[in-house]
Structure 1
């Protein structure tokens, strides 16, 4: 023997199985080890399998926060990321932002959405600036042009559009949804929703059918901004003066499905993704209830979980703290994670009926937006360069 240990030559399928278990940062480094590893990691099927494993493994999920520092009429944003299982010793890092002049600054309003390893950001001041990027490899990004109707005749008779972002598994294409509420002659007599879809693969906007086309229909519902994207479907909570509902847009066939929310869901229910299903969170008295529809049913809902509101948990009489907007997530261990307004985090142990309060210094006092995402190898360099 020459004293040197020989690296065993493992079969390619075993090497790929090992690589699939590694985080994006490690895979990015290992691409420089050898040509075969680079080819495996850059392979489209490998990227899909790795993203799928990350999506179903809650330990790989992360939060992306937009911290805001108000500066007069504009705001300065900073993007911070951490693991979903936030605790007192969690590591928070500032993300490498796209190299775009003025990115995340001097905007009056900003929204962040995430799906299948990419983050979509829309900023307003006063026009719309849309950016698609991968935080795990932040130097690559895609600027999305304003929609056709935003550029044309809808202003000043249209309200601010509502955006959605999801992945179409059938077309294998990321898509942006833009919903306009058009007020004819600046009146509420005949409001209409108009819908556009942007294909990232084809790099173009396309107008599709109206959601509620009949002029004799009741007033169309108000669509809230919070989104849940699952399995190629964009879900939003909406309200039409009498009931709340879930409006679901299916990317594959471009159809809208309306599902009424149970009347027991309180004043302003919110959406939440629990596994591979959509749930509704509602404040009822001093409890938060989580409702989920039965499989293949649009009318039968079951209450699958309940826990105390933040205000009842910490015993402070602040009405604003009782809403589900402070709810962050259900952790791997079943505990509930909250964040107080402009304050620390609170983790509620469901089994022990106890809570722990902690503050993470890297997260600012005011979180403007948050989104749950998973790191991925999805490239924004190809085919746009």
Structure 2
């Protein structure tokens, strides 16, 4: 028995294969076993190989800063973290974005306290407080409209933070400025000149895809900012129902290298389309045709009559589209319905209730609070901030 253990301990290749399959929390402890293990786990090559083997999950963030991990295969493995409380901020910290294992967070609003922004690795509990951008006469983060984290460890160990802020003294003449914070320099720098934008562009809900941040507005206007080229442009306006004056966006996000958008017109429809933007920005295509009426039949608590209780055609179907997931194994849609989380298979139209239904409030409270959850992709990493 001892001889076998010694053989394993002396076989660096075998030890590496074992360590690569462990969660980050365990690897941090095992760094203390020996200098040899510390050196092995700390190498960039080990970090890269570990990231490729790590299983992905979906994070659900919920006020007041609670975070749940969803595994669509009902995995019961230990959850690596449940909040960002390792960041010392008296106001508390909420999750804004998760990308390749790193996360962007900001403090909750607290009277008399300026908002702070953080880049962190929730798995290692390491974090960095971002300095306020150069506000040129404004109150630092008070003028910030959107902050985004860009990190692709397959291309570089470094990350960038992009900030969009209002640089106009008059609200009647809105001008915006982009600033970039590279992790190599640890300082903000201006990017390009101030620019004009439609007043209804939703800078707070930008989506990172294809090396650029993308924004849309309820009137169909679009903007995109290529981070590496530092170029501001636009993308095609998605198809819409001409009978409605404003877009009815219910989902805008990225998964598996695909940018998706869903619009739903009217509260009583169970049918909608998932659009995908071509990688060359030529057009939006209809990727999936969805009909969730079988889900409504299975979960009648989705049917509400809040609008006009005596009119059958005014029924309201209560659901929130949380996430469109594209993987090599398949594609699925994550929905939040009253008290439940549902995974809908986009290929064969089947659906199932998620085994781990996230925060306990979803199990005990049958109400549906629009926007109470925000879904993010997550994969563990050893990357440093």
State whether TM-score is above 0.5. yes
Closer/same/farther in 2, CA of residues 319 and 130 from structure 1, 3 Å limit: farther
Question: What are the within-5 Å matches in structure 2 for residues 200-239 of structure 1?
Answer: 200-210=183-193, 212=195, 219=198, 222-230=201-209, 233-239=211-217
- Which residue does 1:251 correspond to in 2? 227
Instruction: Supply the distance in 2 between the matched residues of 1:274 and 1:118 (Cα, whole angstroms).
Output: 16
| TM value normalised by structure 1 | 0.74
Deviations 1:294-352 (A, max 9, x none): 342x22322122323588564513689768843334385544321126x3222335536
Instruction: Supply the distance in 1 between the matched residues of 2:2 and 2:166 (Cα, whole angstroms).
Output: 74
Given that 1:309 and 1:322 are in contact with CA atoms closer than 8 Å, whether structure 2 keeps it comes out as: no
- Which residue does 1:130 correspond to in 2? 117
Task: Say whether residues 1:178 and 2:163 are aligned partners.
Answer: yes
Instruction: Supply the distance in 1 between the matched residues of 2:296 and 2:357 (Cα, whole angstroms).
Output: 23
Instruction: Supply the distance in 1 between the matched residues of 2:90 and 2:286 (Cα, whole angstroms).
Output: 45
The alignment partner of 1:204 has SS state of coil
Structure with higher strand content: 1
- Which residue does 2:92 correspond to in 1? 104
The alignment partner of 2:170 has SS state of helix
Instruction: Supply the distance in 1 between the matched residues of 2:71 and 2:206 (Cα, whole angstroms).
Output: 18
Deviations 1:148-180 (A, max 9, x none): 11xx42469x86521111126666422221111
Q: 1:376 aligns with which of 377, 381, 384?
A: 381
Q: Which runs of 5+ in 1 are unaligned?
A: 55-59, 69-76, 381-385
Deviations 1:65-98 (A, max 9, x none): 3332xxxxxxxx2332313427597876634622
- Which residue does 1:268 correspond to in 2? 249
| TM value normalised by structure 2 | 0.74
Deviations 1:246-289 (A, max 9, x none): x3332222222311232237522532223122222232543232
- Which residue does 1:293 correspond to in 2? 277
Instruction: Supply the distance in 1 between the matched residues of 2:36 and 2:77 (Cα, whole angstroms).
Output: 35
Instruction: Supply the distance in 1 between the matched residues of 2:377 and 2:116 (Cα, whole angstroms).
Output: 21
Instruction: Supply the distance in 2 between the matched residues of 1:143 and 1:121 (Cα, whole angstroms).
Output: 10
Instruction: Supply the distance in 1 between the matched residues of 2:90 and 2:14 (Cα, whole angstroms).
Output: 45
Closer/same/farther in 2, CA of residues 300 and 348 from structure 1, 3 Å limit: closer
Instruction: Supply the distance in 2 between the matched residues of 1:319 and 1:264 (Cα, whole angstroms).
Output: 26
Instruction: Supply the distance in 2 between the matched residues of 1:346 and 1:244 (Cα, whole angstroms).
Output: 32
Q: Aligned-residue CA RMSD in angstroms?
A: 3.7
Given that 1:282 and 1:289 are in contact with CA atoms closer than 8 Å, whether structure 2 keeps it comes out as: yes
Q: 2:174 aligns with which of 191, 195, 214?
A: 191
Given that 1:115 and 1:229 are in contact with CA atoms closer than 8 Å, whether structure 2 keeps it comes out as: no
Deviations 1:191-227 (A, max 9, x none): 21111112233221111114635xxxx7455124234
Size of the alignment, in residue pairs? 347
Using the TM superposition, give the Cα deviation of residue 18 of structure 1 relative to its aligned residue in structure 2, in angstroms.
4.5
Q: Which runs of 5+ in 2 are unaligned?
A: 242-246, 308-315, 363-368
Given that 2:70 and 2:357 are in contact with CA atoms closer than 8 Å, whether structure 1 keeps it comes out as: no
Closer/same/farther in 2, CA of residues 91 and 137 from structure 1, 3 Å limit: closer
- Which residue does 1:364 correspond to in 2? 361
Using the TM superposition, give the Cα deviation of residue 130 of structure 1 relative to its aligned residue in structure 2, in angstroms.
1.0
